[in-house]
Structure 1
Amino acid sequence: MSQAPIPANEQERLAALRALELLDSPAEAMFDHITALAAQICDTPIALISLVDAQRQWFKSQVGLDAEQTARELAFCAHAVAADAPLEVDNALDDARFRDNPLVTSDPHIRFYAGMPLHDGRGLALGTLCVIDRQPRHLDSHQRAQLQHLAQLTGELFELRLQARRQAEQSAMHQAMLDNAGSAVLVLDPQGRVLRSNHEAQQLLGYSPAELEDKYLPQLLLEPGQYERLCTACSSGPQSTEGQLRARSGQHLPVRLNLSPIRAEGQPLQGYLLVANDLSQREEARLRLQRIAAQLPGMVYQYLLRADGSSCFPYASAGIRDVYGCTPEEVSEDAGPLHARLHPDDAPQVHAAIARSAANLSTWHQEYRVLHPLHGPLWVEGRAAPQRLPGGETLWHGFISDISERKRGEQLQNEFVSTVSHELRTPLTAIAGSLGLINGGALGAVPEQMQQMLEIAQSNSQRLRKLIDDLLDIDKLVAGKMRFDLQPLALRPLLEQALRSNQPYAEHHRVQLLLLPGIDCQVCADAQRLEQVLANLLANAAKFSAAGQSVELSAVPTDGWVRISVRDQGQGIAQDFKPRIFSKFAQADAGDTRRQGGTGLGLAISKEIIEHMGGRIGFDSVEGQGSTFWLDLPQVGVQP
């Protein structure tokens, strides 16, 4: 066995790898999607995102392999990194570098390996996206090209992930502001000049925004030298003291001053955040501090919905300019200017969510688009806690933050999956059709020696086509392009049809499908999409049930909803897998799923479909005692 040479730029490469903050980080869905897709495209049982550290190779994502890391001297990937070039080994037993490698001679018994280097933004090779088989084989040109594309996307995702972490660090700075927020807020440069102020600061001191921005805090403080002493003390952290501010009117205002340095990690001082609480209203300021500090950074606000349906923002931080292009004053009496900047396609959902939150006093949480007058369309996320006031009005305390960068990253991922799926669909259809004709005898009798291989090829092509169909369904659902024809439906005939349609599949697994007795009722749903969801739930239940067991389908109306349940007697769902069960490509046991078949997309698609139809989906399961998957749909003619 020969070890891979150490690259000439090893120290620079290792520094770049650590700078990305990937090593020993938890699993992340976006990378698990890449390895799942690589394994499907290349038809291999194992796919890895491997990062080559100083003494080890560590797997950021793995399909079909339980190990989290191996020694570097054993790593095939180390050879690809050293050469900074693709590495493909058709049969490791024929390659002198690897034939006596423990990874070849023992578990996982590698025979075939293909790895594409993963590069950071500066072109440094950090690891590989690789696929592995326990049988000798060879990639075709299409598989090789797609693996190269996936490797390039993985490197781009490394950079996007790091950007997201940096944005989180920036948010931490904003959180420090909110942790110390009071009635009046001033952002200062290191010399104490006012850079920004909020509405309360302007009201408290009696200055306009423009007038305040010409002031220095030492001029506003009554006690000489107080600002300088606070700045010196801030070298050890935020400082708090009482003092007096001089208002424009000449009035001396008793305040509590909270001064916090603004400094990103490893960067020089950028300035200070000053929060001044008017001590004449100490209790009110304390409660506001608690409510605002409990929220995440962004545009901090209070939104008031009056009993007559009108609304306003009694308080809005200066961040409203960045999110909506409005000033706090423009919306302090009437929220109309802000509502006018909601994207027309999203405004109805935003207003409906506000109405639900007011009716139920439940937390308002929404992602939607804003038409900013300077920056164009922005994606924002808002969250707020409602409070019922004595006069029947509702007051929300919350925040809104710009998530456009996150949405662009999601769009990049979705567009990539959609493009790959569309490109594969046409040739795969032709391949599957040709194999079907051959196996069906259209070209004459198939020799016995070829029959099994052709049947395997046809089965795998159908399986890959199912994955692509699922990917396209997910793409349509995420993009809002899947059409739903919601109609009142008699439920009992639809359940009977679902049972008939899926009975052959269940019989193949020697499992019996049963429809339990129940009253007939109507639900509001799309018949075709509901059948798709039921087919997925029934197929999953049959697939993971033991021979001779039964699967029960039932429907029970309750409180304006109809709960449709699919109950099996299988092994149940592991506790650590439950939070991910409705995630894309989520599979509890990759090896078992490979034997049973499946793409890991069925439940994710089912969840999207049911929620698009105004319903809910969930499950109850105890490991070793089976599972019950259920979905709730609105019952026609009954108010929930």
Structure 2
Amino acid sequence: MHDRRYPLPPDEDARLQALLDLQILDTPEEEAFDDLTRLAALICETPIALVSLVDDQRQWFKSRVGLDARETPREQAFCTHAILGTEIFEVPDPLDDPRFRDNPLVTGAPHIRFYAGMPVSSPDGQRIGTLCVIDRQPRQLSPAQREALQRLGCLASRQLALHRQAILHAREAALQRALLNSAGCALLCTDAEGQLTFLNPTAEQLLGQSASALKGKPLCSLLDLRELQAHAVRQDLAVPDNADTAFTVLSKATASHQEWNLRGLDGGEFPVLMNLSPIHNDQRLIGYLAILQDMREYQQLEQRLQRIAEQFPGMLYQFVRRDAEHFHFAYASEGIRAIFGISPQQAAEQPHLLFSRILPDDLPRIRESIARSANELSPWHEEFRVRPTPESQLWVEARSMPKALRGGGVEWHGFMSDISERKRVENLKAEFVSTVSHELRTPLTAIAGALGLVINGALGEVPEPLQEMLRIAEQNSQRLTLLINDLLDMEKLNAGKLVFELRRQPLKPLLEEALDSNRAYAERFAVTLQLRGDCTAQVRVDRLRLQQVLANLLSNAAKFTAPGSTVIIDVTQSTDQVVVSVIDQGTGIAPEFQERIFHKFAQADASDSRRTPGTGLGLAISKELIERMDGTIGFTSSSQGSTFWFSLPLAETIHPELPDSN
């Protein structure tokens, strides 16, 4: 609490804080304040003059003339009363003033018989002390002395503000110097003419010379003069003939970051990346700040990366995209020449040139997939065609991983490779499968028909041993027919030739039809089929293709479910999609096989002796068919059974404006 033996200003807390903010209490004497007290004593003809600052317990003298004490208690201070007003506080004779006649400073040393104090203020206007004069005889100031004391008090206030500014500037300068000295890159400062004025320790280490040895020398003396002259010619500037005149070339470099060769103490040169920025004070150029980054390690890394890239069969790249119109290749290996027919530098400077080499039929898909990868931060994988030259065409595979950039945008690191040979082999394989399948279908149909006639007695009664052999032949002909049909379906799907009759229709009748169609097959394994869940969903699908998917899932479930069990079709509907699940009670799918289950020709048991025959194409075809109808397919599995599910969007949520179509 404040001591009430002396009066307090109404804003005492703010006044004390303003005094503390000045950071002047208990500081050494300063000539500027001493000059003010000397002048005050001289003009006012007093033996004592003080610059007194009043805190919560004392008055402390920043400057004093004619007094040995550095401070006195606040309850004895005349200045405590002076700071209550804005004008000079004058006490002609303290013995005649009841406030002071018993004051120890009056009754004892220094025997004050006259006091006049002009309040001094902080920069924010708080009266924090006085410039005061004291005499040992009663008296009054003349008008001229009062005016002088008032003006000197104002000068003292300004000096306090300058003291505060000096502290702030010193603190800022110390912080800046600490930042400069601790920076991990080389920092150099010059004057407006390019003469070195400051180097931080990192710069000294980089140059192998001390700051004292380099101060005053031209910054350009550290660079290769021939390089500066060549740059001047390229920029149509006056060609310098020495380091003293070369700074104009350096200060007018067009690039904010430019690579130069720096000369070390031993005379050898090494590359640095320099950023030269002007320093202004009130819009007046006072110097430059040069930031140097040693590029030797970077060049070594670049050479190592180049050697790795040369061994890679394709191109490595780093692609940065800010938005659909602003993107660039931060890095591209030399392999870009073979794939796109352009150089890494062209890709960096003209990224649109690379995209112009992609075939127009593929380009919209590529742009869309890049945008999707950027939005979802999902891996980017595409296969597309490019023309490195007008006469040639390649198939290219690209893979990369995205990463969000802190300042906005996305960056991908990845590779591209020429897969033209692989595509050629795939096309040959597809043509071979298609040709063989078509060629086998006709004779196989004849064989199956002939076997059926013989088994049904068209040629007379068949002996019992022969019937078993004919039955085996008929079963295998049926399996071969299924395989050929699956191969032809897969070939059509891959070629985009499979026709889809997409129509808006209720889902439940389609599920009931699938149950009816596959019930007889399930009964062969002593398995029953059951539909669970009420469904009113309308979907937009091809009925026959959906029946093909359901037949595959139901037949698989029946084959792998124990006799006497039930296979369930479960239906759940949400606001935008419906999920159909086929649930069996088998032994589940082996973990090592699960990741390949939707691959072509994938079978958990590929031996000739497996209990459940199949082509290994059913699930791969089902996946393609569901995805062509805008759905997704998946499964879950445990030792107690498996659930294969597919989801379809409701007809109302996917292109409701479209009519039924192929």
Quickly name the TM-score band, shorter chain normalised. Answer: 0.5 to 0.7
Equivalent residue number for residue 342 of structure 1: 358
CA–CA distance in 1 between the matches of 2:351 and 2:600?
Answer: 39
SS at match of 2:611: helix
Equivalent residue number for residue 372 of structure 1: 388
Equivalent residue number for residue 575 of structure 1: 591
Equivalent residue number for residue 432 of structure 2: 416
Contact 1:307 1:392 in 2 (8 A): no
Equivalent residue number for residue 252 of structure 1: 269
Which of 624, 642, 645 in structure 2 is aligned with 1:608?
Answer: 624
Superposition deviation, residue 293 in structure 1: 8.6
Superposition deviation, residue 459 in structure 1: 1.9
Superposition deviation, residue 578 in structure 1: 2.0
SS at match of 1:482: coil
Distance 1:375 1:315, change over 3 A: farther
1:626 and 2:641 are equivalent in the alignment: yes
SS at match of 1:546: coil
SS at match of 2:595: helix
SS at match of 2:449: helix
Larger radius of gyration: 2
Equivalent residue number for residue 10 of structure 2: none
Contact 1:317 1:328 in 2 (8 A): yes
Superposition deviation, residue 566 in structure 1: 0.7
What are the residue-to-residue correspondences of 1:177-188 with 2, within 5 Å?
none
CA–CA distance in 2 between the matches of 1:599 and 1:638?
Answer: 36
SS at match of 1:399: strand
What are the residue-to-residue correspondences of 1:55-134 with 2, within 5 Å?
none
1:608-627: per-residue Cα shift (whole Å, max 9, x none)? 3223333332221113x111
Paired residue type of 2:649: P
1:480 and 2:496 are equivalent in the alignment: yes
Equivalent residue number for residue 435 of structure 1: 451
Contact 1:314 1:333 in 2 (8 A): no
CA–CA distance in 2 between the matches of 1:489 and 1:335?
Answer: 47
CA–CA distance in 2 between the matches of 1:336 and 1:524?
Answer: 39
Distance 1:380 1:558, change over 3 A: farther
Give ranges in structure 2 of 5+ residues lacking alignment: 1-226, 231-260, 274-291, 656-662
Contact 2:383 2:397 in 1 (8 A): yes
How many residues are paired up?
377
Paired residue type of 1:629: F
Distance 1:552 1:283, change over 3 A: farther
Equivalent residue number for residue 660 of structure 2: none
What are the residue-to-residue correspondences of 1:145-294 with 2, within 5 Å?
252-254=269-271, 279-280=294-295
Superposition deviation, residue 288 in structure 1: 13
CA–CA distance in 2 between the matches of 1:541 and 1:573?
Answer: 12
Equivalent residue number for residue 636 of structure 1: 651
Contact 1:559 1:639 in 2 (8 A): no
TM score, norm. by length of structure 2: 0.50
Equivalent residue number for residue 284 of structure 2: none
Superposition deviation, residue 461 in structure 1: 1.1
What are the residue-to-residue correspondences of 1:299-310 with 2, within 5 Å?
299-307=315-323, 309-310=325-326
Which of 519, 523, 538 in structure 2 is aligned with 1:503?
Answer: 519
Contact 2:567 2:582 in 1 (8 A): yes
CA–CA distance in 2 between the matches of 1:303 and 1:492?
Answer: 48
Equivalent residue number for residue 562 of structure 2: 546
Paired residue type of 1:432: A
Distance 1:502 1:285, change over 3 A: farther
1:167-225: per-residue Cα shift (whole Å, max 9, x none)? xxxxxxxxxxxxxxxxxxxxxxxxxxxxxxxxxxxxxx99x9xxxxxxxxxxxxxxxxx
SS at match of 1:595: coil
Which of 405, 412, 415 in structure 2 is aligned with 1:396?
Answer: 412
Superposition deviation, residue 347 in structure 1: 2.6
Superposition deviation, residue 380 in structure 1: 1.2
What are the residue-to-residue correspondences of 1:36-51 with 2, within 5 Å?
none
Contact 2:272 2:294 in 1 (8 A): yes
Q: Structure 1 stretch 501-510 or stretch 588-597: which is displaced more?
A: 588-597
Paired residue type of 1:367: E
CA–CA distance in 2 between the matches of 1:501 and 1:517?
Answer: 19
Contact 2:507 2:539 in 1 (8 A): yes
Distance 1:245 1:535, change over 3 A: farther
Distance 1:308 1:412, change over 3 A: closer
Distance 1:330 1:622, change over 3 A: same
Paired residue type of 1:539: S
CA–CA distance in 1 between the matches of 2:603 and 2:438?
Answer: 24
CA–CA distance in 2 between the matches of 1:337 and 1:493?
Answer: 54
SS at match of 1:411: helix
CA–CA distance in 2 between the matches of 1:459 and 1:500?
Answer: 23
Distance 1:424 1:298, change over 3 A: same
Equivalent residue number for residue 603 of structure 2: 587
Distance 1:406 1:393, change over 3 A: same
SS at match of 1:372: coil
Superposition deviation, residue 594 in structure 1: 4.1
Equivalent residue number for residue 337 of structure 2: 321
Q: Structure 1 stretch 627-636 or stretch 561-570: which is displaced more?
A: 627-636
Equivalent residue number for residue 353 of structure 1: 369
TM score, norm. by length of structure 1: 0.52
SS at match of 1:400: strand
Equivalent residue number for residue 470 of structure 2: 454
Which of 493, 499, 519 in structure 1 is aligned with 2:509?
Answer: 493
Distance 1:287 1:560, change over 3 A: farther
CA–CA distance in 2 between the matches of 1:436 and 1:577?
Answer: 37
Contact 1:381 1:403 in 2 (8 A): yes
CA–CA distance in 1 between the matches of 2:380 and 2:303?
Answer: 19
1:533 and 2:549 are equivalent in the alignment: yes
> RMSD value over aligned CA atoms?
4.0
Which of 522, 528, 532 in structure 1 is aligned with 2:538?
Answer: 522
Paired residue type of 2:651: V
